[in-house]
C-alpha cells in the first residue's frame, strides 16, 4: 500500500470514529472499570494482608516435630476458618451504611451500647473462674467453641465513641469538668480495666485516643492537664512489678540476658539477618522450628522477613500504607464529620498497631504483646478488625452531605460596646 492509500485509510477511520462517537484513549481510561476506587484499593489491601496471614500462620505453625512438607496444620486450618469469616464480615459491613451508628438518641445509640458491652466484658474477664488465663495473663472469655479477647472490643468501642462525641458534640467539650473529663471518663475506665492484664493494648488505646482528640479540636490546655498524670500512672504501673521494668529496658541490650528476657528479641533479630533480600523461601524458615516464641502472633513479622526477605517486609508495609492512604483520602474529602472522624480513628488504630508490632519485632521498642493486624493468628481479634475496616469501606462507599463539627452547646456571651455595638464571643 502506497503513502496516498494509507493516508486515505487513516482519514476514513477517523471519520468513522467521529460518526460512532468513539472517545479518545484518555477519556476511555478515565471511564474504564479498571480505574480503582477507594473501596477497591482498601479491599485489595485487606485481602492481600489476610491472604499473607493465612500463608505465614500456616508456615509458622509447623514445629520441629512436624512434617516439614506443606501440609495444613491444626493451627493453620483454624486460622483459615477465622480468616474466611473475617473476609465475609468485611464485605457485609462494607455494604452497610455507617450512618446508622450516628444516632443522637442516648437510649438507641448503638455506639454507647457497644461501649457498655465492651466495658462489661473487660470487667468480668478479670474475675477468676470466668476469664481464661493463657501464659500468665487473663485476657480471654470462653464462649462455647471459641473465645474472645475483650480488649479488642474495648479498643474499637473507644474509637467509635470518640468519633461520635467529637463530631456530634453531645456535651460542651470547651468545658473541662462537665465536658472534657466527662468525655475521657469511659475511655479511662476501659483503659484501666485493660491495663491490669494487657499494658500494650491500653497504651495503644491511649495513643489512638490522643491523636483523635488532637484532630477533634480539643483545647490543648485540657490535654496538658491530663497527660502528665496519665504518664505518672503508667510509670508507676511499670515500677510496681520488677519484670515489667526489665521488659521495658531489655530491648536496649538484649544480649545482656540472652537466655531469659532477651531471648525473644535475639531470635527475632536472627530471623531478619538470615532472610536477606528474597528470604529462604516460603516454608523454609528455621527460627520457627522451636527457636522463635510467639511466631504465629507477636513475632510473625520476623517469620515473614526470614522466609520472604526484604521483599516480603516491603510488601507488608505497602499493604498497610494502602489502608492508611484510603483513610487519609476519606478524611480529606468533604464528607460528614462523623465519617471523617471515624475514618481517622480506624486508620490511626491500624497504623499505630502495625507500627508498634513491627518496631517490637525489629527490637526498636520494648515488647508490647500486640498482634500484627490481619496477619497474626487470632479468632475474635481478626474478625473484629475486619469489621472495623468494613466500616472504613462503608465510609468510602457511602457519601453523605458534608458538614462541620457542631458548635459547642454553650450560648455565646454578648459584650455591649459603646454606641450600641454588640460583640458576640
Is the separation of the CB atoms in 154 and 196 below 8 Å?
Answer: no
What pLDDT was estimated at residue 342?
Answer: 95
Domain residues for the domain of 105 are 38-400
Hey, which bits of 221-294 come out as E strands? none
Using pLDDT thresholds of 50, 70 and 90, give the confidence band for residue 2. Answer: low
- Tell me the C-alpha to C-alpha distance, in Å, between residue 113 and each of 133, 153, 154, 304, 345: 27, 12, 12, 39, 19
Residue listed under C-alpha cell 497504651? 203
The total domain count for the chain is 1
Q: Which residue has the higher pLDDT, 62 or 30?
A: 62
Buried b vs exposed e over 159-193: b needs ≥16 C-beta within 10 Å?
Answer: bbbbbbbbbbbbeebbbeeebbebbbebbbebbeb
Of the candidates 166, 156, 161, 94, the residue with the CA atom closest to the CA atom of residue 396: 94
CA distance 162 to 167: 8
Of the candidates 24, 28, 53, 43, the residue with the CA atom closest to the CA atom of residue 376: 53
Segment 306-317, tens digit of pLDDT: 999 999 999 999
Segment 62-87, tens digit of pLDDT: 764 444 455 788 888 899 999 999 99
**Residue 350 forms part of a structural domain:** yes
Of the candidates 353, 356, 348, 375, the residue with the CA atom closest to the CA atom of residue 251: 356
**Residue 309 forms part of a structural domain:** yes
What pLDDT was estimated at residue 41?
Answer: 95
Could you tell me where the DSSP H helices lie in 299-379?
300-332, 337-361
What pLDDT was estimated at residue 196?
Answer: 85
What pLDDT was estimated at residue 389?
Answer: 97
C-alpha cell at position 286:
528455621
Name every residue whose Cβ is closer than 8 Å to that of residue 128 and which is 6 or more positions away in sequence. 138
Segment 327-337, tens digit of pLDDT: 999 999 878 89
Angle at 332 between CA 401 and CA 48, to 5 degrees: 105
**Residue 417 forms part of a structural domain:** no
**Residue 418 forms part of a structural domain:** no
pLDDT average, residue stretch 46-53? 96
**Residue 198 forms part of a structural domain:** yes
What pLDDT was estimated at residue 14?
Answer: 56
**Residue 263 forms part of a structural domain:** yes
Q: Which residue has the higher pLDDT, 143 or 339?
A: 339
CA distance 254 to 262: 4
Using pLDDT thresholds of 50, 70 and 90, give the confidence band for residue 34. Answer: low
Segment 405-425, tens digit of pLDDT: 443 333 344 444 444 444 444
What pLDDT was estimated at residue 9?
Answer: 55
**Residue 405 forms part of a structural domain:** no
pTM to 2 decimals? 0.84
What pLDDT was estimated at residue 4?
Answer: 55
Mean of per-residue pLDDT scores for the chain = 83
**pLDDT exceeds cutoff 90 at 326:** yes
CA distance 40 to 301: 25
**Residue 33 forms part of a structural domain:** no
Highest mean pLDDT of the ranges 147-156, 228-237, 351-360: 351-360
pLDDT average, residue stretch 250-257? 87
Amino acid at each position: 500500500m502506497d503513502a496516498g492509500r494509507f493516508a486515505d485509510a487513516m482519514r476514513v477511520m477517523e471519520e468513522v470514529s467521529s460518526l460512532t462517537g468513539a472517545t479518545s484513549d484518555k477519556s476511555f481510561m478515565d471511564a474504564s472499570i479498571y480505574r480503582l476506587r477507594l473501596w477497591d484499593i482498601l479491599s485489595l489491601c485487606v485481602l492481600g494482608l489476610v491472604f499473607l496471614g493465612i500463608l505465614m500462620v500456616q508456615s509458622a505453625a509447623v514445629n520441629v516435630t512436624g512434617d516439614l512438607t506443606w501440609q495444613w496444620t491444626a493451627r493453620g486450618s483454624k486460622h483459615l476458618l477465622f480468616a474466611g469469616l473475617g473476609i465475609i464480615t468485611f464485605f457485609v459491613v462494607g455494604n452497610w451504611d455507617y450512618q446508622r451508628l450516628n444516632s443522637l438518641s442516648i437510649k438507641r445509640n448503638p455506639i454507647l451500647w457497644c461501649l457498655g458491652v465492651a466495658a462489661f466484658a473487660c470487667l468480668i474477664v478479670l474475675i477468676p473462674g470466668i476469664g481464661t488465663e493463657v501464659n500468665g495473663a487473663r485476657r480471654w472469655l470462653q464462649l462455647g467453641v471459641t473465645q474472645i479477647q475483650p480488649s479488642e472490643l474495648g479498643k474499637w468501642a473507644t474509637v467509635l465513641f470518640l468519633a461520635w462525641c467529637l463530631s456530634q458534640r453531645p456535651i460542651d467539650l470547651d468545658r473541662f469538668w462537665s465536658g472534657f473529663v466527662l468525655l475521657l471518663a469511659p475511655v479511662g475506665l476501659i483503659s484501666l480495666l485493660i491495663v491490669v492484664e494487657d499494658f500494650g493494648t491500653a497504651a495503644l488505646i491511649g495513643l489512638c485516643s490522643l491523636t483523635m482528640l488532637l484532630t477533634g479540636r480539643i483545647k490543648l490546655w485540657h490535654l496538658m492537664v491530663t497527660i502528665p498524670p496519665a504518664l505518672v500512672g503508667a510509670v508507676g504501673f511499670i515500677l510496681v512489678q520488677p519484670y515489667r521494668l526489665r521488659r521495658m529496658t531489655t530491648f536496649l541490650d538484649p544480649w545482656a540476658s540472652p537466655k531469659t528476657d532477651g531471648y525473644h528479641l535475639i531470635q527475632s533479630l536472627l530471623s531478619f539477618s538470615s532472610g536477606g533480600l528474597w528470604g529462604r523461601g516460603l516454608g523454609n524458615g528455621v527460627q520457627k522450628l522451636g527457636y522463635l516464641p510467639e511466631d504465629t502472633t507477636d513475632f510473625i513479622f520476623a517469620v515473614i522477613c526470614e522466609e520472604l526477605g526484604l521483599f516480603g517486609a516491603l510488601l507488608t508495609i505497602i499493604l498497610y500504607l494502602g489502608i492508611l492512604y484510603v483513610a487519609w483520602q476519606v478524611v480529606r474529602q468533604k464528607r460528614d464529620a462523623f465519617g471523617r472522624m471515624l475514618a481517622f480513628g480506624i486508620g490511626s488504630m491500624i497504623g499505630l498497631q502495625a507500627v508498634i508490632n513491627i518496631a517490637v519485632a525489629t527490637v526498636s521498642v520494648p515488647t508490647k504483646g500486640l498482634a500484627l493486624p490481619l496477619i497474626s493468628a487470632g479468632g475474635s481479634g481478626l474478625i473484629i478488625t475486619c469489621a472495623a475496616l468494613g466500616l472504613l469501606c462503608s465510609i468510602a462507599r457511602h457519601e453523605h452531605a458534608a458538614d462541620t463539627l457542631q458548635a459547642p452547646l454553650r450560648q455565646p456571651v454578648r459584650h455591649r460596646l459603646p454606641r450600641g455595638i454588640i460583640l458576640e464571643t
